[in-house]
Amino acid sequence: MPETLLAAIMTVLMAAFLLVVALSRWAAKIHPKPDPWDKDVDTAVRQPDAVPICRKCLSPQFPTSWFCPECGTAVGRYNNCLPYVYVFSIGEVFTAGAWRKMPVNALTIVGFLLASISEYLIFAPVYWVRLWQNLFRIRKELFATLVDQ
Ligand SMILES: [Zn+2]
């Protein structure tokens, strides 16, 4: 009996390993589309003298600043690596999921669910309630927009 159980466990592990290998090969073949803008804008953005802007209010930013002086959004390049500033960055992400308009698809929903579990642990369901309320609000606004057209 233990040999049968061992064989079953080994079979499941081998199947999982093959699945991971197949998924990683599939992911390696994916060529993501470049940024949503055209090549001219992409070239202009990548110039050395290009001025970084705040993603929220579009005001010019100093390359060394951590927060936008106009709206307070975390804009630094390495904010997610700094233990104290990281809290503000992740807070903006969760705020976007709970209160702001955002792209709704399976990836964003699963991402918010998993990220909230990793950040909030047992308190994650509290965040999920607000996330679902925001998703229904976004959906309701989308339907209202479609009806108006
Ligand atoms: Zn700003």
CB atoms within 10 A of CB 127: 19
Q: How far is the CA of 120 from the centre of ligand 1 (A)?
A: 27
Q: What are phi and psi of 43, to 5 degrees?
A: -65, -45
Q: How far is the CA of 74 from the centre of ligand 1 (A)?
A: 8
pLDDT at 55: 87
CB atoms within 10 A of CB 75: 23
Q: How far is the CA of 52 from the centre of ligand 1 (A)?
A: 11
Ranges of each domain in the chain: 78-149
* DSSP at 11: H
pLDDT tens, the chain, 149 aa long: 688 999 999 999 999 999 999 999 998 888 766 667 888 888 888 898 998 899 889 999 988 889 999 999 999 888 889 999 999 999 999 999 999 998 898 999 999 999 999 999 999 999 999 999 999 999 999 999 888 88
Q: How far is the CA of 127 from the centre of ligand 1 (A)?
A: 25
* Two tokens, residue 119: 């950040």
92 in Cβ contact with 73 (< 8 Å): yes
Q: How far is the CA of 57 from the centre of ligand 1 (A)?
A: 4
Nearest C-alpha neighbor of 98 from the set 125, 131, 129, 123: 131
Q: How far apart are CA 17 and CA 20, in angstroms?
A: 5
Dihedral sign (CA 134, 97, 116, 16): positive
